[in-house]
Structure 1
């Protein structure tokens, strides 16, 4: 009976939170309920829910006095300023769109013009905010959108995709139970909030009333100190950052009960290392997309599991594979205007257990002399070779010579390039051997923690490959 009453109370509270309308209202709700609870810890700065709301309210007043309206880009290099602006603009009925870091002025203008946005909200040091209006007319919204997110922009100007409050908040009760997030959670993440994986994770903790810990610094020893100092029990990092953390940590941390990650695959070597470092924590790999939220997940216990296995669908989500080999997703939780079932042009298949086996993005497949090669599979093969610490494979399109593969490799410390080249030729099938092998001290990452493929393409062009 006590359990039934507890479940009923939780459903009532969830219903109240889901009816709030935007995330500024959710923060205000939490600030009234638990004002002294830590909401955000950023390096040596800590803000309670009440303190965070005061900062948000102050910026909301500034935005209102400047007449900010409509759909607005947010330019802020600092995590805290991103978070405050994201909430403050919603508080005054503006739809914020967080910019990726390091964008050029011409890129900003292209985003404004192509997406018909009303301006840029710029956060400057010292708490100064500026609004540069674009003069473009405000666009009508057919749905109750409260925010926008940017596509990666890897193949052109980033597009704005809009979201309703319900499209994320409605799924929090489901995902939070699977990820182990509740009101007592202390979650660590790192990177820009323009990455929807970070934004969703932060907002899911805000929804439950827990604490998010982060760092402005790309220094793994600082991350480790924060984990231990603040008794972090849930960790969210993309695999590229997990790999960096795994190399830097010298002693296990047994306070973690859940590590969830996605956007890239986990190799057997990385899984073993994570299991050593976090012996008490479950390791969960998810598959998701900015357009669709979370799609499938797998608890990774066996390090020798198929790295391409992305597990079974989340409750309430339906996954199918079409005759074209593309993955289609039927979900009520998606960006506005998405036609369901939706595909992001990823390929794969479902095994006999109903688990999704990932084949990679359709555009990333290579047709080499009539043989179709998955860059995802090639990357996994290269990462498994002795002496290789990391690997990324890009397709190279050539109208005269056909498709080719370029591989960027990071060698383990003390390993020679020539020895690795021999290993690649001896271990892979002739058709799988990349046409170009380029060695780097490290793989470049963007501000979302993902591989910066544009930077790799520039390196490839400068090398004349």
Structure 2
């Protein structure tokens, strides 16, 4: 089974139902299948002359990403969706390091629903053999080097969709809003979960929160999946409550009590679910926000069927829903501990801790402290080299309103312990984000070195 076959299955039952809305473009299940089959037919000739194995896909729209993803699976090939904004040298490095067959470039030629141009660029590389069960690849973040392709079977995600869809309240009637590239595994997983249920996806190619809210209202969106940085922007820009939304799910490491309060005001009827997961391991734990205050590091209990333990501060996960080649229990080197209720208290990646002259500082907790400071809307903390102490604290903050930098600095000194006070506190108009909506720490690292 693959996702092309799943689309075929739904087309036999609800061909006229909307599958995808991308701004002004609408694609029913039937129209999407027509578009995918047209692309598949065009690629079939290439497949007969060497198009094989794992294919890197670069598309300028989410519709193009999805169409290529499904068309390649129809040809029994493995799509790997590429992050946007990478330089030619970076793309070449991904091809070479992962021994990929080549790159498929997809462009939306016009607003017509099935009008996709494509270009095939063969790499000339011989790919290492993959298990027949692997049907897709996903890219790692590449934060510490060339992004690595991790492969998945159909069951490694689809086998868990009944569990996650029930918790996230995804059904055949769902209209889910998401934003950003499908190269972000959270977006791809959420979209495929909705496809599995027979629901609809609403999205936009624009970075405009008020436009997103308009789309949500026009299409009666009842579920939202957005990364925390985008949720913070949405809550700051949109003042009219979105009463029709019944479910919001998101990764929680960047959401403070104040952020959650803002979301509860924006989405008064919504069940707000914060989860912890990893690209390698899928969903791990979750918690539902209620009226009582929560520790921002509390990421809840494991999803049903998922095992969790902490050894020497390192989180280990036992799950059958992992990328190919892993042997559970497995760790991505995240740190934390379990409280008396069996809930995971998350403390971030081990490499993100700062050892300041023998004092270990948790960057995640420092970020949460800074976000609670009046006058700070967003904050990121990173280690910074220090000749005397080995490393020290650098912090990047976005001010709220017209509060002065001097007032914020004073408030920071009152909230943080002396050893926690940043050596460098830089004020930015906004945090730099990548195409997945996550903070681009490589940009911030360059600012530290200036």
Residue 48 (structure 1) aligned with residue 31 (structure 2):
no
Measured in 2, the distance between the counterparts of 1:263 and 1:64 equals 43
Deviation at 1:371, TM superposition (A): 1.0
Measured in 2, the distance between the counterparts of 1:93 and 1:170 equals 20
Relative to the length of structure 1, the TM-score reads: 0.93
In the alignment, which of 352, 358, 366 is matched to residue 354 of structure 2?
366
In the alignment, which of 420, 424, 430 is matched to residue 408 of structure 2?
420
> 1:99 corresponds to which residue?
82
1:271–1:303 contact (8 Å) kept in structure 2: no
> 2:364 corresponds to which residue?
376
Gaps of 5+ in 2: 110-115
Where do 1:129-278 residues align within 5 Å? Answer: 129-142=118-131, 144-262=133-251, 264-278=253-267
Residue 299 (structure 1) aligned with residue 288 (structure 2):
yes
Secondary structure of 1:321 counterpart: strand
Secondary structure of 2:403 counterpart: coil
Deviations 1:297-322 (A, max 9, x none): 00011362111000000000011001
Secondary structure of 2:390 counterpart: coil
In the alignment, which of 80, 83, 93 is matched to residue 63 of structure 2?
80
Measured in 2, the distance between the counterparts of 1:285 and 1:91 equals 34
In the alignment, which of 322, 335, 345 is matched to residue 347 of structure 1?
335
Deviation at 1:398, TM superposition (A): 4.4
> 2:113 corresponds to which residue?
none
Q: How many residues get paired?
A: 441
> 1:429 corresponds to which residue?
417
Secondary structure of 1:393 counterpart: strand
Q: Which runs of 4+ in 1 moved over 6 A?
A: none
Deviation at 1:400, TM superposition (A): 5.4
Measured in 2, the distance between the counterparts of 1:432 and 1:191 equals 34
1:263–1:288 contact (8 Å) kept in structure 2: no
Measured in 1, the distance between the counterparts of 2:59 and 2:445 equals 27
Deviations 1:350-391 (A, max 9, x none): 000000000111010011121111000000000001111110
Secondary structure of 1:66 counterpart: helix
Gaps of 5+ in 1: 1-20
Deviation at 1:427, TM superposition (A): 1.9
1:296–1:356 contact (8 Å) kept in structure 2: yes
Measured in 2, the distance between the counterparts of 1:302 and 1:391 equals 25
Relative to the length of structure 2, the TM-score reads: 0.96
Secondary structure of 2:233 counterpart: helix
> 1:122 corresponds to which residue?
105
Deviations 1:123-158 (A, max 9, x none): 134221111111111321135100000000111100
Secondary structure of 2:141 counterpart: coil
> 1:403 corresponds to which residue?
391
Measured in 2, the distance between the counterparts of 1:138 and 1:391 equals 42
Where do 1:329-348 residues align within 5 Å? Answer: 329-348=317-336
Q: What do you get for the CA RMSD once the two structures are aligned?
A: 1.1
